[in-house]
């Protein structure tokens, strides 16, 4: 019987933690370069279409708006940097969505269906967090109307973020580092049938909170 | 006398066991896979993606080697053959928990399609990966196959970056990949030259 268990439950394989850390760090640089290429291509197409008269010419760059950085009080010098960071952030979140959805599916394989959204979020706070980041969430709050706030006082991806360039730069990196995990949480929830948003907030790394907004009917 | 390969195997296994921070390989594979997809979407050019993966690997490799030297007690390798043994049995084992097979080509040179400018004889080895943690759940679409994508090209960069930091300039390339329908996944590492450390003028 135990041999069959071995087939049904393949051994969990691991890689060294450092490898994952380095990949995450270099992924940001790689995505910075690739998103610039993609943006340049989009701009070129837009200009060509404008020249050919298919679309009106592109508008003058808008002044900075706060949409992409929740809870940030750091003043940004100009909106270009925000667009660049936003492009990277959204790509990291997209990667997280893919990872979270597939990974959660495996983790949930042998357990019963979730009774409600609170049950699902608790699973995220315990099983998913432990499996990805070696500990459970430190605090979970909810308004019982679809909003949950998860708090981790020593969030693993943020424990080694630092920058000699000072606090503002450190915060910028920390926000980007939280984008992939936010995507993982969002992806996991969506694979469980709960489609909402996950917004990370980092003001004092490695302390981090994630605000989950789910539809109320769950 | 060079350290026998069985000892390297033991060193690799000990290092792996002593690592405190391990990450689920699936998480790693999923992350890398999604990253490759994103790069393909951004560059729309498989050749360019190969290059960027290699570049990313190079940056990772230059950091990884320091980690490796700090945690392992492996001394300087006496020749390039030994480098191959250490890379396969200690390097790959302690970071990815796999042990590729190392093969060294016979001393007589075979005609190759690419001119290899190397000043050092017997200076290449081939790694055959029976398992590839990066490619766990991956199937390449027709387009990627035709476009010439080397999915795990990051590994080439890692080896190039790491070995450059220990004074070896190498060329690393995939010879085959099971993801492309080949029988095996093989990497060839060729030594181009040793990088001399700067010697002050007047020294002999």
Count other Cβ atoms within 10 Å, centred on residue A32. Answer: 15
The answer to the question of residue B204 being in a domain is no
Determine the CATH number of domain A17-60+80-213: 3.30.1380.20
Structural domains in chain B (count): 1
Say whether B24 and A13 touch across the interface (CB within 8 A). Answer: yes
- Residue B199 within any structural domain of the chain: no
Q: Is residue B110 included in any domain, yes or no? A: yes
Residues in chain A: 218
Would the pLDDT of B132 be above 90? Answer: yes
Domain extent listing, chain A: 17-60+80-213
A180 or A82, greater pLDDT: A180
Q: Say what the pLDDT of residue B107 is.
A: 64
Whether the full predicted model's pTM is greater than 0.90, yes or no, is no
3-state secondary structure of B183: coil
Residue B97 has its nearest CB partner, among A15, A29, A38, at A15
The residue assigned the tokens 């030594």 is B191
Which of A21, A19, A1 is closest to A9 using CA atoms?
Answer: A1
- Nearest-neighbour CA in chain B from A71: distance (Å): 27
DSSP assignment letter at A57: P
- Which residue in chain B is spatially nearest to A15 when comparing CA positions? B96
- The pLDDT assigned to A56 comes to 79
Q: Predicted confidence band at B201 (pLDDT cuts at 50, 70, 90)? A: low
CB contact under 8 A, B43 and A95: no
Split at pLDDT 50, 70, 90, the class of B188 is very high
- Average pLDDT rounded to a whole number, residues A156-170: 78
| Residues of chain B with C-beta less than 8 angstroms from the C-beta of A26 | 56, 59-60
B22 to chain A: which residues are within 8 Å by CB?
A: 14-17
Domain that holds residue B187: 4-194
Q: Is A134 helix (H, G, I), strand (E, B) or coil?
A: coil
Q: Does residue A118 belong to the interface with chain B, where contact is any CB pair within 8 Å? A: no
Domain harbouring B58, CATH code: 3.30.1380.20
Nearest to B35 by CA among A107, A178, A40, A32: A32
Q: CB distance from A16 to chain B under 8 Å?
A: yes
Q: Using one digit for the tens of pLDDT, what is the confidence trace for A115-156?
A: 888 999 999 999 999 999 889 999 999 998 999 999 999 998
Residue A202: enclosing H or E segment and its boundaries? strand A197-204
* pLDDT digit string, tens, across residues B85-121: 999 999 999 999 999 999 988 765 555 555 555 556 5
User: In which band, very low, low, confident or very high, does the pLDDT at B74 lie, cut at 50, 70 and 90?
Assistant: confident
As a 3-state breakdown, chain A gives helix, strand, coil percent values, each rounded to 5, of 55, 15, 35
Residue of A nearest to B24 (CA): A14
Q: Can you tell me which residue has the tokens 């196959």?
A: B145
Helix (H) or strand (E) holding B112: none
Provide CB contacts within 8 A for A84, sequence distance 6+.
A32, A35, A36
Q: Which helix (H) or strand (E) holds A36?
A: helix A17-51
Length of chain B: 204
Is it the case that residue B127 has pLDDT exceeding 60? yes
CA distances from B195 to B90, B165, B190 (A): 23, 9, 14
Give yes or no for residue A1 having a pLDDT over 60.
no
Q: Is the pLDDT of residue A210 over 90?
A: yes
């Amino acid at each position: 019987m135990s041999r069959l268990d071995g087939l049904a439950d393949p051994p969990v394989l691991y890689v060294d933690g450092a490898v994952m850390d380095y990949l995450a760090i270099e992924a940001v640089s790689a995505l910075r370069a690739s998103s610039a290429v993609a943006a340049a291509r989009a701009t070129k197409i837009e200009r060509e279409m404008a020249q050919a008269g298919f679309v009106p010419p592109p508008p003058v760059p808008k002044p900075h708006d706060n949409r992409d950085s929740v809870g940030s009080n750091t003043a940004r010098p100009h909106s270009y940097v925000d667009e660049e960071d936003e492009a990277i952030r959204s790509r990291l979140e997209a990667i997280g969505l893919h990872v979270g959805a597939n990974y959660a599916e495996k983790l949930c394989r042998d357990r019963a269906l979730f009774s409600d959204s609170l049950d699902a979020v608790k699973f995220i706070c315990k099983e998913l967090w432990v499996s990805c980041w070696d500990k459970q969430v430190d605090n979970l709050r909810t308004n019982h109307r679809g909003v949950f706030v998860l708090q981790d006082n020593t969030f693993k991806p943020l424990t080694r973020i630092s920058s000699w360039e000072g606090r503002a730069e450190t915060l910028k990196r920390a926000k980007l580092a939280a984008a992939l995990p936010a995507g993982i949480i969002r992806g996991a929830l969506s694979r469980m049938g709960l489609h909402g948003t996950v917004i990370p907030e980092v003001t004092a790394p490695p302390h981090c909170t994630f605000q989950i907004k789910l539809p109320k009917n769950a | 006398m060079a350290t026998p390969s069985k000892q390297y195997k033991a060193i690799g296994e000990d290092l792996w066991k002593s690592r405190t921070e391990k990450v689920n390989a699936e998480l790693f594979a999923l992350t890398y896979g999604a990253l490759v997809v994103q790069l393909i979407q951004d560059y729309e050019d498989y050749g360019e993606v190969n290059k960027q993966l290699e570049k990313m690997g190079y940056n990772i490799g230059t950091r990884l080697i320091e980690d490796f030297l700090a945690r392992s007690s492996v001394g300087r390798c006496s020749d390039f053959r030994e480098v191959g043994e250490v890379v396969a049995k200690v390097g790959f084992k302690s970071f990815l928990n796999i042990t590729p097979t190392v093969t060294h080509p016979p001393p007589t040179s075979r005609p190759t399609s690419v001119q290899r400018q190397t000043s050092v004889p017997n200076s290449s080895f081939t790694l055959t990966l029976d398992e590839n943690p990066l490619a766990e759940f991956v199937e390449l679409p027709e387009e990627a196959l035709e476009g010439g994508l080397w999915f795990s090209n990051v590994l080439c960069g890692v080896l190039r970056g790491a070995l450059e930091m220990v004074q070896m300039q190498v060329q690393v390339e995939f010879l085959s990949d099971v993801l492309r329908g080949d029988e095996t996944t093989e990497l060839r590492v060729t030594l181009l030259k040793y990088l001399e450390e700067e010697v002050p003028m007047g020294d002999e």
